[in-house]
């Protein structure tokens, strides 16, 4: 099913724009995911630089092991990250003519791994508009006890909390504010083949992994092909500018050699 065209329903597009996320059950073939997942997990464990025991880590590092831009490390990973089907869905949900890759990211929540605190991804990105979207692809089923992604519905329209990095503080303050504003949390397990897309400003979190198995997930961040670089608003955006948009400056098209157009190609 990789690279096969997929017609996004009007209902899915409307739901994404209303809620800031959309779940697409059974979108990918389970056998394909098992094959790609084996390579992605192998690379994640080989390239990961976090070696402290869980009990010695801070909250952020207890959430998951993470490795970025696996597409540059393996042709198998590259073929998955450059998938036209997923990039095309991202473009339709964003309502743009094309998308570039910002970067990919493997997220490996170890057995007994901690919560992923509530946050919005775009806190980290020096991007000039909200035309950014992440696809979240579990590489095995994710029942509730393994910590599936949870979304605060409609939270992409609120600005409060956008200045908070992933932390204990973000978990406490964003969770309290979402409840006060009446944004319900959407929590559901993922079967193998289920995926979700969420906006850069949608607040989300994940619970701990209570199981004895790792929760391996691959993500890709897509941006409007016409996206420009913003003036960094914080130190981590400055670091992101140097790492993921190398050689670029505010006002430039976000089109470094590591930000290829994935759709249309």
The CA distance from 220 to 224, in Å, is 13
Give pLDDT, residue 2: 62
Give pLDDT, residue 51: 84
pLDDT by 10-residue block (mean), the chain, 265 residues = 80 98 95 93 94 88 92 97 96 97 97 96 98 98 98 96 95 97 97 97 98 97 98 97 98 98 90
* 3-state secondary structure string across the chain: CCCCCCCCCHHHHHHHHHHCEEEECCCCCHHHHHHHHHHHHHHHHHHCCCCCCHHHCCHHHHHCEEEECHHHCCHHHHHHHCCHHHHHHHHHHHCCCCEEEEEEEEEEECCCCCCEEEECHHHHCCECCCCEEEEEEECCCECHHHCCEEEECCHHHCCCCCCCCCCHHHHHHHHHHHHHHCCCEEECCECCCCEEEEECCCCEEECCCCCCCCEEEEEEEEEECCCEECCCCCHHHHHHHHHHCCCCCCCCECCCCCCCEEECC
Give pLDDT, residue 246: 98
Give pLDDT, residue 4: 74
Tens digit of each residue's pLDDT (9 = 90 or more) over 57-88:
988 888 889 999 999 999 999 999 999 999 99
Report which of 129, 132, 108 is spatially closest to residue 121, judged by C-alpha positions.
Answer: 132
Written as six digits, the tokens of 78 are 């590259």
Residue 89: half-sphere exposure toward Cβ, Cα within 13 Å: 30
Task: Give the pTM.
Answer: 0.95
Would you identify the CATH topology of the domain 10-257? Jelly Rolls (2.60.120)
Tens digit of each residue's pLDDT (9 = 90 or more) over 202-218:
999 999 999 999 999 99
Give pLDDT, residue 65: 93
Give pLDDT, residue 1: 57
Q: At what angle do helices 10-19 and 84-94 cross, to 10 degrees?
A: 60
Domain range summary for the chain, segments of one domain joined by +: 10-257
């Amino acid at each position: 099913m990789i690279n096969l065209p997929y017609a996004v329903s009007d209902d899915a597009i409307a739901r994404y724009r209303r809620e800031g996320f959309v779940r697409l059950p059974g979108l990918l073939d389970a056998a394909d995911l098992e094959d790609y997942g084996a390579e992605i997990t192998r690379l994640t464990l080989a390239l990961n630089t976090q070696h402290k025991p869980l009990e010695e880590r801070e909250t952020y590092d207890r959430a998951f092991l993470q490795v970025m831009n696996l597409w540059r490390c393996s042709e198998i990973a590259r073929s998955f990250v450059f998938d036209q089907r997923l990039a095309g869905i991202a473009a339709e949900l964003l309502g743009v003519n094309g998308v570039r890759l910002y970067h990919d990211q493997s997220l490996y929540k170890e057995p007994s791994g901690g919560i992923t605190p509530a946050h919005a991804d775009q806190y980290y990105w020096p991007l000039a508009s909200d035309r950014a979207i992440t696809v979240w692809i579990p590489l095995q089923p994710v029942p509730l006890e393994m910590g599936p992604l949870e979304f605060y519905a409609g939270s992409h329209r609120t600005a409060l909390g956008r200045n908070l990095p992933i932390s204990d503080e973000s978990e406490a303050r964003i969770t309290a504010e979402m409840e006060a504003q009446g944004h319900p949390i959407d929590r559901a397990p993922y079967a193998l083949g289920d995926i979700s897309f969420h906006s850069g400003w949608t607040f989300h979190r994940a619970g701990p992994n209570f199981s004895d198995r790792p929760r391996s997930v691959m993500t890709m961040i897509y941006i409007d092909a016409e996206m420009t670089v913003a003036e960094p608003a914080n130190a981590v955006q400055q670091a992101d500018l140097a790492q993921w948009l190398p050689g670029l400056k505010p006002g430039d098209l976000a089109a470094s050699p590591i930000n290829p157009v994935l759709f249309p190609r």
